[in-house]
């Protein structure tokens, strides 16, 4: 998963990727949860279809985008 990325330039989205491998069951959905500073938690579906910031479809690297956060603390985690 993306860890400690360089701060994005003002007005630039923050792209988060996570390598997700199936264990006993196929991966049906991957969700990213994030929070900017002390705001509410936001839920975003991660994609592995070559769209919405994802580079290559079907490579098990799931991608989600945090829209241009202000220069502040952003925290995230991923779940299936």
Comparing 68 with 17, which gets the higher pLDDT?
Answer: 17
Of the chain, the percentage scoring pLDDT greater than 90 comes to 38
Query: Smallest Cα–Cα separation from 67: which of 19, 10, 20, 18?
Result: 10
pLDDT value at position 32? 95
Of the chain, the percentage scoring pLDDT greater than 70 comes to 99
Q: Residue 17 pLDDT more than 80?
A: yes
- Report how far residue 65's alpha carbon sits from residue 68's, in angstroms, rounded to the nearest whole number: 9
The count of other CB atoms within 10 Å of the CB of residue 12 is 11
Q: Break the chain into its structural domains and give their ranges.
A: 14-79
- Report how far residue 67's alpha carbon sits from residue 22's, in angstroms, rounded to the nearest whole number: 28
Contact call for residues 66 and 14 (beta carbons, < 8 A): yes
pLDDT tens-place string over residues 42-74: 999 999 998 878 889 989 999 999 988 776 788
Contact call for residues 47 and 64 (beta carbons, < 8 A): yes
């Amino acid at each position: 998963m993306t860890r400690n990325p360089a701060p994005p330039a003002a007005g630039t989205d923050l792209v988060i990727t996570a390598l997700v491998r199936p264990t006993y069951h196929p991966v049906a959905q991957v969700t990213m949860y994030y929070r900017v500073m002390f705001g509410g938690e936001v839920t975003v579906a991660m994609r592995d279809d070559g769209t919405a910031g994802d580079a290559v479809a079907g490579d098990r690297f799931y991608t989600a985008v945090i829209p241009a956060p202000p220069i502040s603390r952003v925290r995230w985690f991923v779940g299936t």
